[in-house]
Amino acid sequence: MPIRPRKTKHLIKLIVHILDMGFFGKVFGQKKVEKGVLKTTLELLPTLIEEDFSSRIKNMELENAKEIAEIKFLHGKIIALVKEISGIELERKENERFNKAAATAKKQVEKQLLRLMEKVSPENVGGDLSEIRKYVGESYSLLLNEVNSFRKSLAYTSVYLKDEMKQLGGLVQEFLNKLKEVHDKLEKESELFEFENAKERIVLLQQNKKELIELEKEKASILQKIESEEMELAKGKEKREALAKGNEIKELNQLEAEKKAMLDEKQQLKIEVSSMLSTIDRPLQRFKALVDSGRWILDRERRDLLAAFIVNPMLALKKDVNGKQFKEILAEIVKAINDAKIELKDREKEKRLDALQELINFNFFEKIFWRLNEIQKKQIEIDHKISGCVGQKLLVAEEEKGSAITKKISALKEEIVAITNKTRALGERVLAEEKYVLSFSEKVLGRTVTLEN
């Protein structure tokens, strides 16, 4: 992994950093440096590590160039010997079956070894440490596994070509040992190959730290907004309380009380009407059934009115203010009972006829419609006064404003929760990344490293 030229500004920072820790620091006493401790920044750290790596990588590349040359030499000797063996005829023995098996095994050994040597060829391996590391690791594993797969063929061939196969086995083992030796040396210097990953993680750590600062600023800004909105909410509450104590609101409360009294009276009137009609509910329902079945004839207008009185008597009275048509319907019911079209027991019959007669004689206009009309007139007057109350409008406006501010504060608090959760998760990642970066740096530099902001 060759070292690339660094940017001038990083070089300047590095020189200043070294001078600060060295001669000038000692002479002028500008900065006391604890022995064994390196104080630096995330921005400068990759440059310091890279500077330390420079000589180590150069030495390793020179050393491994020699190792690769030896690997190439062994690889060439193995191929040459396999080709030499392929030209040797096996000396035949008495056992023909064994002779055939040995000849087949020899061909398989030659074919498999040549194919294997092609797979682990170091011909195109350059001087880059990462490339060498990959080559020796993969080649060692491949060679170890595939040689075991034709061990039986090697054994058969060794019976006939003992010296040649012994020499071949020795070369393959030497080749294998050399691959492992180079692989193990490079693995001991594994941090050299982690550097690019470490640099990326240092950059990410810087970004995450900046994001944490931005999140804290954003959180502080939102908290200020919440504080401002809460002050506004408190002012609105004071204003509403002041309005509630004013004469206009007192007048409004009086009007609301009067309106409630009107509504209660209206409801009481409805109850009275329902109570009166409940005394004739059974004959009323039975008469409707007679009409619906066609056994008693009523014109369409009175049929609709009959249905309306059963469903909503107050609404029906608005259409028949004097109760004239309703009384005509009641008279029809009396006739139906007397004609035995509506069957009732004698005692109930008498009771229901009395109730019907009482309703026929009842003054619906004066006692129901007129009272209802007066109530509605007063209710309209009160509603008009309420709608013209300025204090009420101001109070409603302040309540709506307070409600909007409360929703806004709630939304801002949700943002605070989201930012807090994000900050916590990001903070945990920063701690983990910082731990890795410091561990890697200390391993490489051989010193305790502390990061300055």
Backbone angles phi, psi at 100, to 5 degrees: -65, -45
Looking at residue 28, its pLDDT comes to: 30
Specify the amino acid at residue 317.
L
Looking at residue 168, its pLDDT comes to: 79
Segments in the chain below pLDDT 50:
1-35
Looking at residue 95, its pLDDT comes to: 58
CA torsion through residues 423, 424, 427, 429, sign: negative
Nearest to 159 by CA among 102, 104, 109, 113: 102
Report the distance separating Cα 48 and Cα 80, nearest Å. Answer: 48
DSSP 8-state code for residue 368: I
Looking at residue 21, its pLDDT comes to: 40
For the chain, the residue count is 453
CA distances from 232 to 257, 405, 410, 416 (A): 32, 8, 14, 19
Cβ proximity of 131 and 123 under 8 Å: no
Host H or E run for residue 38: strand 37-40
Cβ proximity of 441 and 49 under 8 Å: yes
- In whole angstroms, what separates CA 236 from the centre of its chain? 37
Contacts of 342 (CB under 8 A, 6+ apart): 283, 286, 287, 290, 333, 336
Nearest to 186 by CA among 145, 144, 140, 120: 140
Give the residue carrying structure tokens 């006493």: 29
Nearest to 117 by CA among 87, 145, 88, 139: 139
End-to-end CA distance of the chain: 30
Looking at residue 162, its pLDDT comes to: 67
Helices (H) and strands (E) in the chain, counts: 17, 2
Report the distance separating Cα 121 and Cα 115, nearest Å. Answer: 10
Looking at residue 20, its pLDDT comes to: 41
Report the distance separating Cα 226 and Cα 241, nearest Å. Answer: 22
